């Protein structure tokens, strides 16, 4: 299976369990790895035979900016489901970064990574 990756998609969302997170929002980053067969697109040099990663990026940002959820696990799953709606995408790995998570000790990042597939 071939891979198409999008790294560092950035959007502001209002996800989290604390009122301040819901009210003020924060920046989330998303990394995606889409699993699909790119051979038909490559053979015909045809965008219609692969995944349009520009559209996927817009949809992922819309999910992050959309309805708030408590957990980034839930957010990651919603992103994965949006990606799997694209014909040809057989699996997706989603990594959601929450670099401004409300943690009281110094840290660089918090991430949740999930893998979902059609099977």
**Could you list the active site residues?**
98
SS3 category, 74: helix
In 3D space, the residue among 7, 1, 106, 16 whose CA is nearest the CA of residue 50 turns out to be: 1
CB half-sphere exposure, 36, CA atoms < 13 A: 23
Cβ-contact 98, 48 below 8 angstroms? no
Q: Which residues pair with 116 in a beta bridge?
A: 92
């Amino acid at each position: 299976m071939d891979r198409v990756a999008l790294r560092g998609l950035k959007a502001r969302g209002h996800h989290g369990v604390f009122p301040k997170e819901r009210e003020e929002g924060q920046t989330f980053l998303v990394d995606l790895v889409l699993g699909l067969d790119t051979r038909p697109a490559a053979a015909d040099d045809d965008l219609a035979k692969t995944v349009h990663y520009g559209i996927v990026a817009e949809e992922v940002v819309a999910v992050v900016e959309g309805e708030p959820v408590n957990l980034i696990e839930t957010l990651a799953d919603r992103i994965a489901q949006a990606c799997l709606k694209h014909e040809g995408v057989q699996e997706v790995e989603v990594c959601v970064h929450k670099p401004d998570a409300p943690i009281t000790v110094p840290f660089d990042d918090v991430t949740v990574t999930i893998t979902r597939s059609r099977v």
